[in-house]
Structure 1
Amino acid sequence: MTRDRALRRLAVRLLAGGCAGALASALLALAVPAVHAATPSAAASSAAASSGATTVSGRGEFKEMRFTVSQTRNLSSQAVTVSWTGGTPTTYAGSQFNTDFVQIMQCWGDDDRSVPGNPGPPRTQCQFGASPTTSRGSWPGNGYDDTRSVTYSADPSSYGMDDRYGAGRPFGQGEVPFRAVDGTTITTGTQNNPLFSYNTTNEIDFGHTGADGTGREFFEVQTRNEAPQLGCGTPVRHPDGTVTGRPCWLVIVPQGHLDLDGQPYADRTQVNAGSPVSSTNWRNRIAVRLDFNPVGAACALGAKERDTTGSELVSDAMSSWQSKLCDTGTVYGYTTLGDADARSRLAEKGDSLVFTSRALGTATGTSPPPDKVAYAPVALTGLVIGFTIERQPRSDAPPAVRGTAGTRVDSLDLTPRLVAKLLTESYGNSPWGAVRTTTSGGTSGRVAAKGYAWAAGNPPGLLSDPEFIRYNPEFAHLTVAENPSTDTDLVTALGHTDAARQLWRWLFADRQTRQFLKGQPDEWGMRVNPYFSVDPDLNPTGTAFADDRDDFPKSDPWKTIPPGSSDATVEQSMTDFHPYVDDLHSGALHTRRADQLWKSNWDPLASPPAWKSPGPQTVGRRFMLTVTDAASAARFGLQTARLRNAAGEFTAPARATLLASAAKAVRQDGVLHTDPATKVPGGYPLTLIVQAAARPAELDAAARRDYAALLRYAAGAGQRPGDAPGDLPRGYAPMPQPLRAEALRTATALADWRPAPSPGSAGPTGPTSGTGPTGPAVGTTVGGSTGGAPGGEAGGGPAADPTSPPTRAPGSGGPGSPSPVPPTAGSAPAAAPVAAGISPADPGGALRYAVPIGAAVGLLAALAAPLAGGARPTAVRLPLRVALPGGRSVTLVPRIPLPTWLRRLRLPGRPGRRPPTA
């Protein structure tokens, strides 16, 4: 065979192999689905479309106004943004809203046909009018504009006049009744009715319009769980078998600048605006339909149920996933349980799946179970400081600042030390009454109770702390009501959680904060409350405040009798000044409502008599902060503070910052952790990865399959952001591909797990491995190859379909091969970093490797062809065809003539060319 012919054949083989490789890569690309293939802009457009953001116009004198509701579909118990433009700036009579403000309420029912062109509900079916009945001295309403009270007029033409209610009553005074969805009707005493009250209503009595004609309010949408009288979201089953939630309405009533007589206000010192549900005001109402997800997943009756418990951080995600997973025929129950309690339950019983952020047996005083534990990442989220703050300018503030009165603050920057000051009750007004101001001889001074001299020397609250002003300079011109429910308090939840532990780890990782907790004053002389000092010599208890906490203790034992109390035996304690909430969700909801928790009102008629909260703070003067989770903050529209990370940056809890921190997570005892002490540029310090944990040996085969299906959904379709049932709610970042791949491997390992054969038994046919009490882990460990990072080079190949079991390589499970075995504590390196290839902006996917791998495979095949058949390989002849059924064929590679220059090429040693000399 001549060298020319050999060269030509080699070129043909290379070309044919490359083409075949390209074809194989295309087929591989089709076989590997892309997760979240949509571009960010497309995803954002899809999310906006699914949310049903709606803009509507006003009418009459408000025809220039445009109102936008941020979400009208797939609603649950949450907050939506109502914003407007084209309005007239609000004016005040003293502290009361006088002219040109906006009122918002939620209603139920069919169109009442009162406003042509704008369907909406009857005014009798709207939740409004539960303003306070006492202590209205500083309240910004006049007793009509925030109630259901109206004045009868047979031919009404003025605000607050009515053509029906009040007729025949003294002075024509009446009330618009409220009718509940079950038919219950309240005709009198509507301001203090048994169905909804000042503490539970979601109505917005006063929405401020700024100098530029714009305004914005966060409206709390309520389902039947929060407002049974409205029934919104009640499951409705249709003839085709589909289930939807009962719709409701969001109704906006703009108030203008006319008096009750229909003329412009003549007396600007008092407010005469009437009720929004009067027939005259109701003609200006704008109604927007609200579509709810069914409340309570309407799974088929009799379906089997699998129990899940654990971290509240996954609560919103599970609430979304549960309804979609009904299609699998399994009901996945979920109960929030403290992380430590959930781990203890799993270690003791092992018959369920729990959500946690730490491995079993890692907490002090605990030990791991004797068998293996499978871990799978399911959610990426974070702990946040949420707030509702409205600007209250000081009297000496510049005119531009005074013009911002009542508007919301959107951004705060908090250092670890500032958060520590709030959590340790170290501000002067935190132990309320321990420091009193006295006046003698025309001079004022501060007198501290015994043991509280430290409080007298500290700033009264956050707004008087120079450190806070340094990072938030606009507050130098603002003020706040000085009491325990405003700038001295950080609302926290009762109980032990991994989220609380993460926050304390962030605090103790900061050098300034550690020094402050040891008792060293800050640059301005502020000292820690000694009951929280980590120095036992400084702490009055004689014991150091622990640095490895997973709760938010109220360590200060301060008690006092409030000034002016007629009962000297009635004391208030720190838990009256700074009460706990039940959970992170409740903290977000109370903060959204600005429901001050300070129990300042004594109720002698309660059983037993007790201190009670007076209810929400006054509109325009709200100031509340809380520790909550990112999902709850997003759900209720809370602003969230930017926190200083270990790299010295202030970062907010956003998708990019959560992913940046997740990219630097380390594996400890088989579970991925994010460390607030790690310097992660652009990372959010309170990022948390929630893991699902199960003990395969304690579950039967059916339970393992069901839990595996949950994990596959959570790692697949459950990572698609959106508001529809089954989507990933706001406040979570879609997990990067390596974490999803790890969850899918765990799902496969869980479903395929088989117990190890007992000693001396032959066992099933073929080699097996298992997770007996003492059996070693054989085969692939869940979450990547032993010693490898999840999704890294040692972690296996491309991910398979995220909604179905991934294809298993030989030897990775299935009949006749070792079963993948979940890892136990200590089965992975103590600090193995997550794959460095995680990109915060563009999580990696298997699809990007298909074409280069396929082409490389084809090239190798072509190069190896001459060696495959011995000394005389079979030539590849073109055209290259593949036979199809029916006698047909398809051409893969056509006949390709070689160029003249290649045919004329002579190799060294070819006759006609002189061989090279030595």
Structure 2
Amino acid sequence: MRRTRVRNALIRLLAGATVGALAGLAVAQTAPTAAAATDSAVTVSGRGEFKDMKFTVDQTKNLASQAITVSWTGGTPTTFAGSQFNTDFVQIMQCWGDDDGTVPSNPGPPRTQCQFGASPTTNRTSWPGNAYDDTRQVFYSADPTNYGQDNRYGAANPNGGAEVPFKSVDGTTITTNTQNNSLFNYNTTNEIDFARTSAGGTGQEFFEVQTANEAPHLGCGVPVTTGGVTKPRSCWLVIVPQGHLDLDGKPYADQSQVNAGSPVSSTNWKNRIAIKLDFNSVGTNCALGADERPTTGSELAADAMSSWQTKLCSAGKVYSYTELGEPDTRSRLIADGTSGLAFTTRKLGADTGTTAPPGTTTYAPVALSGAVIGFTIERRPKSTAPDSIKKLAGTKVESIKLNARLVAKLLTESYRSSTWGSVVNGTASKGYGWAKNNPAGLASDPEFIALNPEFAYLSVAETPSTDTDLMTALGHSDTARAVWQWIFADKDARPFLAGVPDDDGMRVNPYYSTNADLNPSGFPFDPSNSDEYPKSDPWCTVPPGSGAPKDKPQCMTDFHPYVDDMHAGALHTRRADTLWKSTWDSLATPPVYKSSGPQVVGSRFAITITDAASAARYGLQTAELKNSAGAYVAPTTTGLTTAAATATGSAVLEVTPANATAKGAYPLTELVYAAVRPGQVSKAARQDYAALLRYASATGQTPGADPGKLPDGYAPLSKKLRAQTVKAADALLAYTGPTSTGSGSADGGGTDTSGGGGSSGSNGVTGGTTGGAGTGAGGGGASATPSAKASFGGGTALQTTAAGNTPADPANPLRYAVPVGAALGAVAGVGAPFAGGGRLRLPLRLPLPGGRSVTLVPELPELTEQFKRLRRRLP
């Protein structure tokens, strides 16, 4: 009976997920995609009190959802009143609208159209603001001179407070309670309330630019027509420096209290510096009436495809891209080759339990990137720190070193504070004695401090939201597989996972032990075959000090929530928001746990596993990782290229961490291949995919910020690999197979004709590991532009492939239509037996041999909320 129930549950899961994924795919193909940016740095000088300051923005054109760098020189060092910012700091915000004409020498928008003022409305005890400098609150004065006073708003109540209204691009105007407005809040705003100027008069911040996808009330990037000309709406970056002069023009004498007022008050606004921002279009620029060619698969290809789509669209070829985990991508392509071109880092049939399909599969290398450990860490020196460290207070740590065992400790939830509440005041809960003497988190781990000595002088609040775990993506991926391979190949990490303590006595969380005798599940954890980031520990508790009732516990997926994908992980790390809902709100209806929002400026600590392109897009710092040669290597172009040279395999070369023995090889490098089953797609589709491959092998490998080039976070393919791509394109054009009666296919199977000059496998899969010069159709070399004429003349171009489109925020629900659809479909399938009133407890997991489990239904309310938002956005 039990076997039958499990079988039926799996059948429902598969059916629901399949239907959900197909529905999600249809929805996802209406989502906008991205173009890359253009190098367009701008430097602007301050005025008046700030005339000696110069502000530089590293990019102002072709903007997308991304981070840009704002830096400055010539400032006065920031002062503090206790822990609050007092004088001489910088505030940054994004605004919309035309020049308001108030500063002829520096055009800029009205202050009423700036996204600012969403600081915390509760629990401000550790917040470094005074409720005026970080809000829109002002005091009226007919002739204002002091910071924070205003000559317009509040005139009806001169002795009381007032607020500067916020006006949305659609005309919606909020005049009261602006701090709690419905358009943006502390969790979604991109404003920077407090940016410190260092002792040397310099400063730097990474500012998250938001398009209309993330901030509809600003409308940045939406096509607008003026005088018969349509172009994306421009917006503004506005910088407001806060000074240190009192009413008499002299420096403040009293440093014991905060003196700054709202940056949108008229007194402070007169010193604002505005810099125009030009965006890629949010919408469609491709000619309507053109067919599209679907591509799907590895997230590692996402940013490259977003850039390439732009140029290919202008050349008359429209390609969609749908992100999907590589294992699922391969399964889909094996089952249905008519789905088109898929991005993968392994060949079909490489996964356990799968077999390569019959007939030809054409593989072409298209991108070289990798997984990275990205982070946002700010220095908060201990009182005992030397002056050299104290002078760096609030600045960002630029680099850290990590070895495989340290990453294993994070992923296995082995730090004492990871299982939050399992050890309280030195007393361990039953079954958690192993955690009692473990370091609280990464920052206090002697092994980490030995590699990163300055952390001995830094203070980190070691909670589930800081250094006790890594933000990781939900689902199966080749990136997760590569990370676990790197860990399992390490001579120190492998025995640690087996239960051997490190040199300082730290032990692995037994739920991740590869020793079945130690693992409470009775099965050994098998990292060598893992392609996900499991949260195996069943620990649940009411968070200490939360005030929540005993019947409202949190579990490990609450303390350490998954993110949707690596892009989302990078974004949340840039925001320093790990998504833990740590605050119990007893006044809510019903009472719930709520997020406290991003971490407090000056002491942020967020760390994630993401891809190199996403880290570059959001301006994350990245760790140097220890490779099998014992060297610590950063994910630079050199590190990626050196590792790629060690790749081995047939048809699809794989970089194996254990074999990347070159001293300069970055261990988590990954090669992305385009895979097509030519016998299952039409001749017209083969021509179009050949055009994509030709472009990817030529201009697509030229690094640059311009649309159509290779974005940051990728390394150009070697000449040999590019030649292999050209040869694969030639083979698609030259392919002739037997006529097929299969659905959606104009050609059938046949022998392999593509790839790197090797032999074909028994299943007709492209063999070989090297590439010769392209000598097939159109051979001889790569073309900078698509060589095949557009082969379609009808149909509808979907919005996914608009030239110059701005990439959606990773949290945009449309981006995840396929995985969310699959997940919700699975929920529907598994939940069917409970429709009669049985209770389904989440997360729902299916135990597997080897200590692994499949999370059938995760406890992720964010996914459900995203799907609700997705449905609201559909026509």
Secondary structure of 2:80's counterpart equals strand
**Given that residues 95 and 236 in structure 2 are in contact (C-alpha distance below 8 angstroms), is that contact kept between their aligned partners in structure 1?**
yes
Superposed CA deviations along residues 763-811 of structure 1, whole A, max 9, x for unmatched, are: xxxxxxx9955x544xx532235475423599999534343459xxxxx
**Given that residues 130 and 201 in structure 1 are in contact (C-alpha distance below 8 angstroms), is that contact kept between their aligned partners in structure 2?**
yes
- Cα distance between partner residues in 1 of 2:726 and 2:772: 15
Moved more, 560-569 or 652-661: 560-569
2:447 to 461, 464, 467: 467
Does 1:456 find its partner at 2:436?
Answer: yes
Q: What are structure 1's unaligned runs of at least 5 residues? A: 1-46, 438-445, 760-769, 807-918
Tell me the equivalent position of 1:621: 603
Within 5 Å, give how 1:454-853 maps onto structure 2.
454-547=434-527, 548-564=529-545, 565-603=547-585, 610-668=592-650, 670-678=651-659, 679-756=661-738, 773=749, 775-777=750-752, 780-786=753-759, 789-791=769-771, 799-805=781-787
Given residue 757 of structure 2, which amino acid in structure 1 is its aligned partner?
Answer: G
**Given that residues 69 and 81 in structure 1 are in contact (C-alpha distance below 8 angstroms), is that contact kept between their aligned partners in structure 2?**
yes
Tell me the equivalent position of 2:11: none
Tell me the equivalent position of 2:825: none
2:146 to 145, 153, 158: 158
- Cα distance between partner residues in 2 of 1:460 and 1:706: 54
**Given that residues 158 and 261 in structure 1 are in contact (C-alpha distance below 8 angstroms), is that contact kept between their aligned partners in structure 2?**
no
* Structure-2 change in CA distance of 1:330 and 1:795 (3 Å): closer
* Structure-2 change in CA distance of 1:604 and 1:319 (3 Å): farther
2:92 to 95, 104, 119: 104
- Per the TM alignment, residue 631 of structure 1 is displaced from its structure 2 partner at its CA by 0.6
- Per the TM alignment, residue 239 of structure 1 is displaced from its structure 2 partner at its CA by 7.7
Does 1:249 find its partner at 2:236?
Answer: yes
Secondary structure of 1:677's counterpart equals helix
Tell me the equivalent position of 2:870: none
- Cα distance between partner residues in 2 of 1:776 and 1:49: 42
**Given that residues 719 and 734 in structure 1 are in contact (C-alpha distance below 8 angstroms), is that contact kept between their aligned partners in structure 2?**
yes
Secondary structure of 2:275's counterpart equals strand
2:314 to 327, 332, 335: 327
* Structure-2 change in CA distance of 1:666 and 1:703 (3 Å): same
- Per the TM alignment, residue 235 of structure 1 is displaced from its structure 2 partner at its CA by 2.5
**Given that residues 153 and 172 in structure 1 are in contact (C-alpha distance below 8 angstroms), is that contact kept between their aligned partners in structure 2?**
no
- Per the TM alignment, residue 240 of structure 1 is displaced from its structure 2 partner at its CA by 8.6
- Cα distance between partner residues in 2 of 1:757 and 1:119: 65
Within 5 Å, give how 1:855-866 maps onto structure 2.
none
1:54 to 38, 42, 48: 42
Moved more, 589-598 or 167-176: 167-176
**Given that residues 576 and 611 in structure 1 are in contact (C-alpha distance below 8 angstroms), is that contact kept between their aligned partners in structure 2?**
no
Given residue 630 of structure 1, which amino acid in structure 2 is its aligned partner?
Answer: A
Superposed CA deviations along residues 366-407 of structure 1, whole A, max 9, x for unmatched, are: 111122111111111110000000011111111221222111
**Given that residues 596 and 613 in structure 1 are in contact (C-alpha distance below 8 angstroms), is that contact kept between their aligned partners in structure 2?**
no
Secondary structure of 2:653's counterpart equals strand
TM-score, normalised by the number of residues in structure 1: 0.78
**Given that residues 159 and 261 in structure 1 are in contact (C-alpha distance below 8 angstroms), is that contact kept between their aligned partners in structure 2?**
no
Superposed CA deviations along residues 184-235 of structure 1, whole A, max 9, x for unmatched, are: 1111111110011000000000010011111110000111111111111113
Moved more, 676-685 or 289-298: 289-298
**Given that residues 595 and 616 in structure 1 are in contact (C-alpha distance below 8 angstroms), is that contact kept between their aligned partners in structure 2?**
yes
- Cα distance between partner residues in 1 of 2:713 and 2:770: 24
Q: What are structure 2's unaligned runs of at least 5 residues? A: 1-34, 760-766, 789-875
**Given that residues 304 and 329 in structure 1 are in contact (C-alpha distance below 8 angstroms), is that contact kept between their aligned partners in structure 2?**
no
2:330 to 322, 333, 343: 343
Tell me the equivalent position of 1:203: 191
Given residue 106 of structure 2, which amino acid in structure 1 is its aligned partner?
Answer: N
1:355 to 333, 343, 350: 343
2:251 to 256, 264, 269: 264
Given residue 467 of structure 1, which amino acid in structure 2 is its aligned partner?
Answer: E
Tell me the equivalent position of 1:876: none
* Structure-2 change in CA distance of 1:261 and 1:226 (3 Å): farther
**Given that residues 309 and 342 in structure 1 are in contact (C-alpha distance below 8 angstroms), is that contact kept between their aligned partners in structure 2?**
yes
Does 1:293 find its partner at 2:266?
Answer: no
Tell me the equivalent position of 2:110: 122
TM-score, normalised by the number of residues in structure 2: 0.81
- Cα distance between partner residues in 2 of 1:696 and 1:603: 57
CA RMSD of aligned residues (A): 2.3
- Cα distance between partner residues in 2 of 1:456 and 1:180: 52
- Per the TM alignment, residue 477 of structure 1 is displaced from its structure 2 partner at its CA by 0.6
Does 1:169 find its partner at 2:157?
Answer: yes
- Cα distance between partner residues in 2 of 1:108 and 1:319: 25
- Cα distance between partner residues in 2 of 1:301 and 1:781: 33
* Structure-2 change in CA distance of 1:59 and 1:509 (3 Å): same
- Cα distance between partner residues in 1 of 2:232 and 2:70: 22
Tell me the equivalent position of 2:795: none
Superposed CA deviations along residues 720-743 of structure 1, whole A, max 9, x for unmatched, are: 222232222111112122111111
**Given that residues 259 and 273 in structure 1 are in contact (C-alpha distance below 8 angstroms), is that contact kept between their aligned partners in structure 2?**
no
- Cα distance between partner residues in 1 of 2:283 and 2:665: 36
Superposed CA deviations along residues 653-684 of structure 1, whole A, max 9, x for unmatched, are: 1111111111221123x111111112022111
Structure of greater Rg: 1
Superposed CA deviations along residues 542-575 of structure 1, whole A, max 9, x for unmatched, are: 1010121110000100011233535211111011
Tell me the equivalent position of 1:39: none
Secondary structure of 2:91's counterpart equals strand
Does 1:364 find its partner at 2:352?
Answer: yes
* Structure-2 change in CA distance of 1:567 and 1:49 (3 Å): closer
Given residue 252 of structure 2, which amino acid in structure 1 is its aligned partner?
Answer: Y
- Per the TM alignment, residue 519 of structure 1 is displaced from its structure 2 partner at its CA by 0.7
- Per the TM alignment, residue 159 of structure 1 is displaced from its structure 2 partner at its CA by 1.5
Superposed CA deviations along residues 24-53 of structure 1, whole A, max 9, x for unmatched, are: xxxxxxxxxxxxxxxxxxxxxxx9994111
- Cα distance between partner residues in 2 of 1:125 and 1:758: 60
* Structure-2 change in CA distance of 1:677 and 1:523 (3 Å): same
Given residue 558 of structure 1, which amino acid in structure 2 is its aligned partner?
Answer: W
* Structure-2 change in CA distance of 1:794 and 1:112 (3 Å): closer
Using the aligned pairs only, state the percent identity.
65
Secondary structure of 1:504's counterpart equals helix
Tell me the equivalent position of 2:21: none
* Structure-2 change in CA distance of 1:214 and 1:794 (3 Å): closer
* Structure-2 change in CA distance of 1:514 and 1:607 (3 Å): farther
Superposed CA deviations along residues 102-142 of structure 1, whole A, max 9, x for unmatched, are: 00001111111111211111111111111111000110000
Secondary structure of 2:649's counterpart equals strand
- Cα distance between partner residues in 1 of 2:457 and 2:718: 43
Superposed CA deviations along residues 319-367 of structure 1, whole A, max 9, x for unmatched, are: 1222222123332111111111111111111111111111111101111
Does 1:233 find its partner at 2:221?
Answer: yes
